[in-house]
A and B are shown apart, each in its own frame.
Chain A
Amino acid sequence: MPADRTTPPRFFTRLFERFCKQNLYDELQGDLEEEFYLNLEEFGIARARKLYRREVLKMLRPSVVKKIRNQPTYYNHTAMFRNYSIVAFRNLSRNRLFSAINIIGLAISMAVGLIAITFVSEIYSYDNFHDNRDRLFRVVSNLHRTNGNVTEYATASVFAGNRLANDFAGFEAVAPLTKGFRGEMRKGESSIAIQGIYANNDFFKVLSFQLLAGNSGSALTEPNSVILTETAAQKLFDRSDVVGEIIEWKDQTPYKITGVLKDPPSNSHLKFDAIASLKTLEEKNISTVTDFGVIWASHVYVLLPENYDLQQIQTNLDKLAEEENPKLKYWQLSLGLERFDDIFPSTGKANQFSTVMPKEKVTSIVVLALIVLFSACFNYTNLSLARSLKRSKEIGVRKVVGAGKTHLFLQFIIEAILVAVIAVIISYGLFQLIKPEFLALDFYIQRTTTLDLQPINYLYFFLFAVAIGILAGLFPSLLMTRFKPVNILKGVSVKTSKGVGLRKVLVGIQFALSMGFATLVTMTYKQYKYALNFDLGFTTENILNVEVQSNTPEVLKSQFQAVPEVAGVSSASIMPSTGNSMSNFVKYKNPLDSVTAYTMDIGPDYLTNMGHQLLAGPGFEKEGTGDRAIVNELFLKEIGINKSSEAIGEQISFYNKTWMITGVVKDFHYGTIKNELEPFIFTMGRQDHYYLNVKLKTNDITATMNRLESAWKEVDNVHPFEARFYDDWLQDTYSDMNASLKTFGLLSGVAICISILGLLGMAVYNAESRLKELAIRKVLGATLSSLMLLLSRSFMGIFILSACVAIPLAYYIYEETIVSTAVYKINIGFWELASGALLIVAVALLTISSQTMKAARSNPAESLRNE
């Protein structure tokens, strides 16, 4: 650009303007420019520009450069901040409606934010009580099957741990442990159920669990020694100084208490009631401690020396695996180290010590919270932008009196922060309200988090409020500080056209979010209901499934049958449609051809009790002979029998036995909605039965349950009565869907609230600022409906656009996550897709029209009279 080429370099001019003292600028800049033009004539453009640049850079000297703190020294910070706060409060109370919208909207979404903060800080506080965490590792195994499949396990065998400790260098201490110290401990009359581990003394060298009594160096040396946690000791003895006492294991083996342990904290991934000495198992010489390949429930934790060499240790692990693998027949193992900090949250290794929060879950919760938070920040930004014109006079006066951009920016940011801080106080209350809901949200959260607030959380909350305030207030503050005082005070209206476009985009995003969540909720809810009401082909209503535990099913059965409300009792090995299954290859006639069929062992009354439809054959006799089978229609089809009556008396073989078909049942769903119908066989007398199916006919559930429980107590006085209605159980089977439903439900509620609040604010503002225009239109003959249309029209476009973005996106997410594994799904039609969006648009229009109605109805004379 030739015009540009004959002027001094723009960048350097602006740079100079930036750093030069105000009072020197005229003189120095004038001189620089004058000289530039002289140089231009003498030396040409390139040299002149070069000289100019050099001159500017040489201006960087103390006598020219602005002081960093250019405010006068008498500037009184406290007074100004106080003034800002006062003005902010006045502003909040002057515009009650807008303040309320801002604060409530922020508070709702910040409650979600608080949950996310507490959740994340709790998840990342896991296991932080261990010393030397930087040197703590866990030995993990990869299991290589002969078919090439590899499974990552979080476990390693006790045997491997012991070999590492004894035969390999490079470890400061190795602590193998194995689960399975489980059952009842007795002391005289009192008894408790224990979930414990077996470990040796090195456990205390590696991990920082505290012994309250006993010697950590010797407590686990002898066989049949046990360390109880404080709680376990209290329950069993009512006191905690119990070292030296003898307690009895369920098989009457005596154990000596050699220590009392402080309870593992709630944020420990290792949780247990007791530690028994590993020596106890070693004496028995069982495979858990003697086999390299038995990795299933054992973990090996290691402490490495200060200057550890991971490469060296990996070489040792490989050497160990190489030495021991030849002993394994069906698979091979490779060992590795996992950092202690990577155990929780983790990325899905099999056989964790306890439930581990998947990392993706943490991420998705944070992302969802952020989405909601942004939505609420938009509200603040939007309303502040819309109302910035009203404050322009204040800005003008402040600027004329001497406020700099920084001052004004600070003032508006402080206002935003103030709103955010008020909001966070309210959201704290909301947080307490939704906390139980969140904790019940899903399996992982239930198992691993408490959401108990630590003192540090309050600091996080405050910082969070400040951050939200800055985020929400940033854009309007920047915009408002740019207003030119001359224009404002002259009364020239300040055009903020940029603001209007932005506002529309923000409202659009908000509504897209609300519609997306609402559509997701609609579809998920329908699918969930569908799954629950899915016709399984048998009755689940009023069936109470009782866990048999260690009792004889027949004894319990006769006990329950004596209860008057019981209509029938049957027994079964496992319960269908709850996620458990067994299958086998079944052969018919042709020994080379086999059909995979699911099987289940039942008692004689099962089919009638559960409402299965017997199509042919006599079914099972009262006393099973153990070689009769009842099959379903699909099985017959698979083996090539067309008429069910033809099947009776045919021989089939599975589980290494020959069976005679004595009945055919109508097809039913053995799996969940994630499974197709499958060939199926009922057997009798093959397996132990773990469940009794008690059919109830009662109006008073509580009384019946009490009666059943006392019937249980007659037979078993030790174990608690464990019973669950079949329908509740089915509901639990779909708990992942239920969790998504609740999550999306909560979020859509929040998102909708926020966007409607924001819309209300915009509508009020719109109607207020166009009051005169409306009055003139009315005087000229516009009808109420045409005015309403006028005011709503600009929003309609936004709604349609957001629906176009949100609905396909929601459908995609639904297909990819909610029903990605389901075989049976609802048909998604117009209403499933559109009802959420339509509902929101309806509410939105109602909101807008409530305001426009007010404006359009007002007497034009009133609004036109005063000017």
Chain B
Amino acid sequence: MKGSHLGEFQELVLLTIMVLKENAYGVSIKREIKDRADRSISRGALHTALSRLEEKGLIESWQGEANKERGGMRKRYYKVTDTGAAALRAAKELRDSLWNEIPGLSLQYQHHYA
């Protein structure tokens, strides 16, 4: 299925949203990615990725509360849908199976994974 193909960055965003659980919105996602992957991404680039994911039905969003730091603007929270989770899992399985085919590395990989 062409639509369910995940780009590297999209996968990263999806995973980050899952990690953040209930607190996944623009700023938190951006900061999390910065902390974990040391990747500085612009809010604009993040917006593009989020809107693509939402189009594909991999995430869903709803309006949250506003506060003073935001100049009275409401947040938009994101959550990975079941389809999104399935797509992530499929991507992971694909990688695992590929990793398993590479002898010598698999042990190290499994070790690390455990």
Q: A64 touches which one: B25, B44, B71 (CB < 8 A)? A: B44
Binary B-proximity of A1-40 (CB < 8 A = 1, otherwise 0): 0000000000000000000000011111111111101100
| Most chain B beta-carbon neighbours within 10 Å: one of A27, A37, A55, A63 | A27
Beta-carbon contact of A24 and B47 below 8 Å: yes
* A59 beta carbon closer than 8 Å to chain B: yes
* A61 beta carbon closer than 8 Å to chain B: yes
Beta-carbon contact of B44 and A27 below 8 Å: no
* B107 beta carbon closer than 8 Å to chain A: no
Q: What's the minimum C-beta distance from A614 to chain B, rounded to whole angstroms?
A: 103
A residues less than 8 Å from B27 (CB atoms)? 31, 34-35, 38
Beta-carbon contact of B71 and A31 below 8 Å: no
A residues less than 8 Å from B51 (CB atoms)? 63
Q: A63 touches which one: B26, B48, B70, B73 (CB < 8 A)? A: B48
A residues less than 8 Å from B25 (CB atoms)? 31
Q: What's the minimum C-beta distance from B98 to chain A, rounded to whole angstroms?
A: 32
With known contacts A30-B70, A34-B27, A34-B69, A61–B76 Cβ distance under 8 A: no
Within 8 A of B (CB), among A173-227: none
A residues less than 8 Å from B66 (CB atoms)? 30
Within 8 A of B (CB), among A516-534: none
Within 8 A of B (CB), among A216-269: none
* B37 beta carbon closer than 8 Å to chain A: no
With known contacts A27-B75, A33-B70, A60–B26 Cβ distance under 8 A: no
Q: What's the minimum C-beta distance from A17 to chain B, rounded to whole angstroms?
A: 11
Beta-carbon contact of A28 and B26 below 8 Å: yes
Beta-carbon contact of A32 and B43 below 8 Å: yes
B residues less than 8 Å from A31 (CB atoms)? 25-27, 30, 43, 70, 75
* B45 beta carbon closer than 8 Å to chain A: yes
B residues less than 8 Å from A495 (CB atoms)? none
* A58 beta carbon closer than 8 Å to chain B: yes
Q: What's the minimum C-beta distance from B68 to chain A, rounded to whole angstroms?
A: 9
With known contacts A55-B43, A58-B42, A58-B44, A27–B71 Cβ distance under 8 A: no
With known contacts A30-B73, A31-B25, A38-B27, A61–B48 Cβ distance under 8 A: yes
Name the CB-closest residue of A to B51: A63
* B74 beta carbon closer than 8 Å to chain A: yes
Beta-carbon contact of B69 and A55 below 8 Å: no
Binary A-proximity of B28-67 (CB < 8 A = 1, otherwise 0): 0011000000000011110110010000000000000010
Q: B70 touches which one: A34, A58, A60 (CB < 8 A)? A: A34
A25 to B26, CA, bound (A): 13
With known contacts A27-B76, A38-B27, A63-B48, A33–B43 Cβ distance under 8 A: no
Q: B44 touches which one: A34, A35, A38, A61 (CB < 8 A)? A: A61
A residues less than 8 Å from B74 (CB atoms)? 26-27, 30
Q: What's the minimum C-beta distance from A8 to chain B, rounded to whole angstroms?
A: 9
Q: What's the minimum C-beta distance from B32 to chain A, rounded to whole angstroms?
A: 13
A residues less than 8 Å from B76 (CB atoms)? 26-27
A38 to B74, CA, bound (A): 17
A26 to B74, CA, bound (A): 6
* A54 beta carbon closer than 8 Å to chain B: yes
A26 to B43, CA, bound (A): 14
Beta-carbon contact of A60 and B44 below 8 Å: yes
Beta-carbon contact of B69 and A33 below 8 Å: yes
A464 to B35, CA, bound (A): 65
With known contacts A27-B75, A35-B30, A55–B44 Cβ distance under 8 A: yes
Beta-carbon contact of B42 and A27 below 8 Å: no
Q: What's the minimum C-beta distance from B96 to chain A, rounded to whole angstroms?
A: 33
Binary B-proximity of A43-72 (CB < 8 A = 1, otherwise 0): 000000000001100111101100000000
Q: What's the minimum C-beta distance from B77 to chain A, rounded to whole angstroms?
A: 10
Q: Give how many A residues have a beta carbon under 8 Å from the other chain's beta carbons.
A: 22
Name the CB-closest residue of B to A62: B48
Beta-carbon contact of B45 and A58 below 8 Å: yes
A309 to B42, CA, bound (A): 61
B residues less than 8 Å from A27 (CB atoms)? 26, 73-76
| Most chain A beta-carbon neighbours within 10 Å: one of B44, B69, B73, B75 | B44
B residues less than 8 Å from A33 (CB atoms)? 69-71, 73
Q: What's the minimum C-beta distance from A126 to chain B, rounded to whole angstroms?
A: 60
Q: A54 touches which one: B42, B70, B73 (CB < 8 A)? A: B42
Beta-carbon contact of A29 and B43 below 8 Å: no
A315 to B43, CA, bound (A): 70
Beta-carbon contact of A30 and B75 below 8 Å: yes
Name the CB-closest residue of B to A35: B27
A29 to B76, CA, bound (A): 11
Q: What's the minimum C-beta distance from B25 to chain A, rounded to whole angstroms?
A: 7
With known contacts A27-B26, A27-B75, A37–B69 Cβ distance under 8 A: yes
A29 to B51, CA, bound (A): 16
Name the CB-closest residue of B to A54: B42
Q: What's the minimum C-beta distance from B46 to chain A, rounded to whole angstroms?
A: 9
Name the CB-closest residue of B to A33: B71
B residues less than 8 Å from A38 (CB atoms)? 27, 31
A28 to B27, CA, bound (A): 10
A718 to B61, CA, bound (A): 105
Beta-carbon contact of A58 and B73 below 8 Å: no
Beta-carbon contact of A30 and B71 below 8 Å: yes
Q: What's the minimum C-beta distance from A726 to chain B, rounded to whole angstroms?
A: 88
Q: B73 touches which one: A29, A55, A61 (CB < 8 A)? A: A29
Name the CB-closest residue of B to A56: B44
A37 to B68, CA, bound (A): 11
A26 to B51, CA, bound (A): 15
A461 to B92, CA, bound (A): 74
A residues less than 8 Å from B42 (CB atoms)? 54-55, 58-59
A26 to B75, CA, bound (A): 8
Within 8 A of A (CB), among B60-109: 66, 69-71, 73-76
Beta-carbon contact of B30 and A64 below 8 Å: no
Q: What's the minimum C-beta distance from B105 to chain A, rounded to whole angstroms?
A: 38
Beta-carbon contact of A59 and B43 below 8 Å: yes
Q: What's the minimum C-beta distance from B92 to chain A, rounded to whole angstroms?
A: 28
B residues less than 8 Å from A61 (CB atoms)? 44-45, 47-48
A58 to B47, CA, bound (A): 11
Name the CB-closest residue of A to B45: A58
Q: What's the minimum C-beta distance from A622 to chain B, rounded to whole angstroms?
A: 111
B residues less than 8 Å from A63 (CB atoms)? 47-48, 51
Q: What's the minimum C-beta distance from B74 to chain A, rounded to whole angstroms?
A: 5
A27 to B66, CA, bound (A): 10
A767 to B25, CA, bound (A): 61
Name the CB-closest residue of A to B46: A31
Name the CB-closest residue of B to A24: B47
A35 to B30, CA, bound (A): 10
B residues less than 8 Å from A34 (CB atoms)? 27, 69-70
Name the CB-closest residue of B to A26: B73
Beta-carbon contact of B71 and A35 below 8 Å: no
Q: What's the minimum C-beta distance from B56 to chain A, rounded to whole angstroms?
A: 14
A31 to B78, CA, bound (A): 13
Name the CB-closest residue of B to A29: B73
A residues less than 8 Å from B75 (CB atoms)? 27, 30-31
Binary A-proximity of B5-43 (CB < 8 A = 1, otherwise 0): 000000000000000000001110011000000000011
Q: What's the minimum C-beta distance from A18 to chain B, rounded to whole angstroms?
A: 15
| Most chain A beta-carbon neighbours within 10 Å: one of B25, B66, B73 | B73
B residues bordering A, Cβ < 8 Å? Answer: 25-27, 30-31, 42-45, 47-48, 51, 66, 69-71, 73-76
CB pairs A–B below 8 angstroms (27 shown):
A25-B73, A26-B74, A26-B76, A27-B75, A28-B47, A30-B66, A30-B70, A30-B73, A30-B75, A31-B30, A31-B43, A31-B70, A33-B71, A34-B27, A34-B69, A34-B70, A35-B27, A35-B43, A37-B69, A38-B27, A58-B43, A58-B44, A59-B42, A59-B43, A61-B48, A63-B51, A64-B44
Beyond the given A30-B70, A31-B43, please list 18 additional residue pairs across the A-B interface where CB-CB is below 8 A: A26-B73, A26-B76, A28-B43, A31-B25, A31-B27, A31-B30, A31-B75, A33-B69, A33-B71, A33-B73, A34-B27, A35-B27, A37-B69, A59-B42, A59-B43, A61-B44, A61-B47, A63-B48
Closest 9 CB pairs of A and B: A30-B73, A31-B26, A30-B70, A58-B42, A58-B44, A59-B44, A27-B76, A26-B73, A33-B71
